A and B are shown apart, each in its own frame.
Chain A
Amino acid sequence: QKEVEQDPGPLSVPEGAIVSLNCTYSNSAFQYFMWYRQYSRKGPELLMYTYSSGNKEDGRFTAQVDKSSKYISLFIRDSQPSDSATYLCAMRVTGTASKLTFGTGTRLQVTL
């Protein structure tokens, strides 16, 4: 079993839709949870960052972490064609030297 599981998609939605992206994980020591966005032929860029459980909102993006269920989500409201990308969840344990463990990424396509 992988430490982090993520549905690879692809996920296709019409413009304006609410998108829900999810990851599950098995390591209960994970404390930091991130979402990266990766456009084609580009490196991942940090989108959202959450420490421990709870919600975090930034514009059209909301990240949720439920540590009791080992489940994290990213919601995108009013999706735009420019949101079309691969979304990678990543997480790590506490510590200055702890490494990021990534999911496989979900490819999202927002259509006009």
Chain B
Amino acid sequence: EAGVAQSPRYKIIEKRQSVAFWCNPISGHATLYWYQQILGQGPKLLIQFQNNGVVDDSQLPKDRFSAERLKGVDSTLKIQPAKLEDSAVYLCASSSRVSPTANTEAFFGQGTRLTVV
């Protein structure tokens, strides 16, 4: 089974520039997550999709971050304009959890390491 694919692996941009990350989840997984992991911290959920719809984006800085999931498969996360504090690893994960008691949990991609200078 292929894992969660993310690209690019690394990105360096100047502050105020824009950047986009791409994620291809595991085939058939309805739930897709974007997490931000700042160095030395645990992942923080930015946005969660169930198929095409947004389930939770309460911690997404909507003035600069946007995300979409077209056709319920691939997803892109965009930052515009970037700030220094956006330097982090952006992790995409997917899950096939379809019932409250299902024990299929989130599988993570390798992440995109963003450095804003």
Task: Please report which residues of chain B, range 84-102, place their CB below 8 angstroms from some CB of chain A when the two chains form the complex.
Answer: 91, 93, 97-102
Q: What is the interface size of chain B, counting residues whose CB is below 8 A from a CB of the partner?
A: 30
* A94 and B109 contact, CB distance less than 8 A: no
**Chain B CB within 10 Å, residue with most, of A4, A32, A96:** A96
Residue B117, interface by CB 8 Å = no
What's the A-B contact tally at a CB cutoff of 8 Å? 67
* B109 and A43 contact, CB distance less than 8 A: yes
Task: Please report which residues of chain B, range 70-87, place their CB below 8 angstroms from some CB of chain A when the two chains form the complex.
Answer: none
Residue B110, interface by CB 8 Å = yes
* A102 and B100 contact, CB distance less than 8 A: no
Q: How large is the interface on A (under 10, 10 to 19, 20 to 34, 35 or more residues)?
A: 20 to 34
* A44 and B56 contact, CB distance less than 8 A: no
B residues engaging A (CB < 8 A)? 4, 31, 33, 40-45, 48, 50, 55-56, 91, 93, 97-103, 105-111, 113
Sample of 9 A–B contacts (CB below 8 Å): A8-B40, A43-B91, A51-B103, A96-B50, A99-B45, A99-B56, A100-B45, A102-B44, A105-B40
Given contacts A4-B42, A96-B100, A100-B105, 9 further A-B contacts (CB under 8 A): A8-B40, A43-B4, A43-B108, A43-B110, A43-B111, A51-B103, A95-B100, A97-B55, A102-B42
